[in-house]
Structure 1
């Protein structure tokens, strides 16, 4: 159903307006077929009026959608649903679940545990060398500022699985990694190096069972650490 002048209709957000509600309403345009991948969204002013929300709330929601790869904001052109979002349903599901921390962590674990076992059979010597470099960079980092190298470690493993069918899942995995990483209140460089080194050694031996075991050991610790300081609502 469309509103006046052919505009997509959006139900206004009632009660206390939250960024999450705005995200859900914007995604409904895509889910219900009112807009398609690549289509331009209504302007910021139109969305504010239709959803009855303030500019800060709307911009927070749009920033989240952009981070998750759902939309692209182009200077002087407007905001668009990404062309490939239709082939990446995991990004949409992630956007709808961003406030469900346990679910986000579980999703990351499910994806990474599957990918690391496949990676153990397919990772190249070049990729192993890059993986080792990330561990060295973390070990050499100052002030425990190694978040990007941590993410790169997991990215290399994910893509070394070399499966085009799960590319959309990998995008979601990296977004989930960024989400969980942002919630870590203190870093333990030496422990990270220990966990990553154990995973690396399992991959270097081409041992999928050991790779699974070491990745689970690492992610279980991350899960407990995050949930200890961020209790779910």
Structure 2
């Protein structure tokens, strides 16, 4: 009788998976109502015991939550949920999906396409001037290192929508942009300038329909470029 042990195969639990689980569990404290915005979290030792994880895993999770604006740390006082979490409705969802690039790209599209139509009706002459300056910065950049100017272009548009309800979402949008930009392996300044100029001209005409159209063309181009290159995602058909 063959008593050779049966070989089994299971996926190992890596540190990133544990860290994400910790993020989800801490956020659940808010979702379930066990804790409220502004309240102090248990100490690191208490959280390690409650969650049954090591200090490096816990600290990695806390760093993720802090970078997303869900928590903040006070020297000698501890770690607290932010008081204004309710004004950042996407922060929690972003923290849960921070490694899902496709979800981040789609969330960016949904938010920016809404903001651009409001911006077309509200953007000021001064904001248009600053928008044009970012395009000039990209055109004058010699080494294709223009991510800051690119980021500022989108930030100006988002803020020009001038809506207090969506204002809290803009910080989350910027975090999303930084993540997406970090995945771009090569830059095409000519294409960026072309897209940004078309968006600028639509905003200058105060045309929300054209502004929406040009922003969609730009974001759709970025979506295909980023996800096609992203190793965890299957190539997209054009």
Please state which band the TM-score falls in when normalised by the shorter chain: 0.7 to 0.9
Q: CA separation in 2, counterparts of 1:58 and 1:193?
A: 42
Give the structure 2 partner of residue 139 of structure 1: 139
Per-residue CA deviation, residues 172-202 of structure 1 (Å, 9 max, x unaligned), is: 2222212211211222222211211111111
Alpha-carbon offset, residue 169 of structure 1: 2.4
Aligned length: 220
Q: Does 1:121 align with 2:124?
A: no
Give the structure 2 partner of residue 158 of structure 1: 158
- Runs in 1 of length 4+ with deviation above 3 angstroms? 14-17
Alpha-carbon offset, residue 15 of structure 1: 5.0
Q: CA separation in 1, counterparts of 2:206 and 2:183?
A: 32
Q: Give 3-state SS (helix, strand or coil) of 2:41's partner.
A: coil
Q: CA separation in 1, counterparts of 2:41 and 2:129?
A: 43
Which consecutive residues of structure 2, in runs of 5 or more, have no partner in the other structure?
1-11
Q: Give 3-state SS (helix, strand or coil) of 1:89's partner.
A: coil
The structure whose Rg is larger is 2
Q: Give 3-state SS (helix, strand or coil) of 1:164's partner.
A: coil
Q: Which moved more, 1:219-228 or 1:188-197?
A: 188-197
Give the structure 2 partner of residue 4 of structure 1: none
TM-align CA RMSD: 1.8
Q: CA separation in 2, counterparts of 1:75 and 1:148?
A: 31
Which consecutive residues of structure 1, in runs of 5 or more, have no partner in the other structure?
1-13
Are 1:118 and 1:161, in contact at CA under 8 Å, matched by a contact in 2? yes
Alpha-carbon offset, residue 204 of structure 1: 0.7
Q: Does 1:100 align with 2:109?
A: no
Q: Give 3-state SS (helix, strand or coil) of 2:80's partner.
A: strand
Give the structure 1 partner of residue 130 of structure 2: 130
Are 1:120 and 1:207, in contact at CA under 8 Å, matched by a contact in 2? yes
Alpha-carbon offset, residue 59 of structure 1: 2.2
Give the structure 2 partner of residue 31 of structure 1: 31
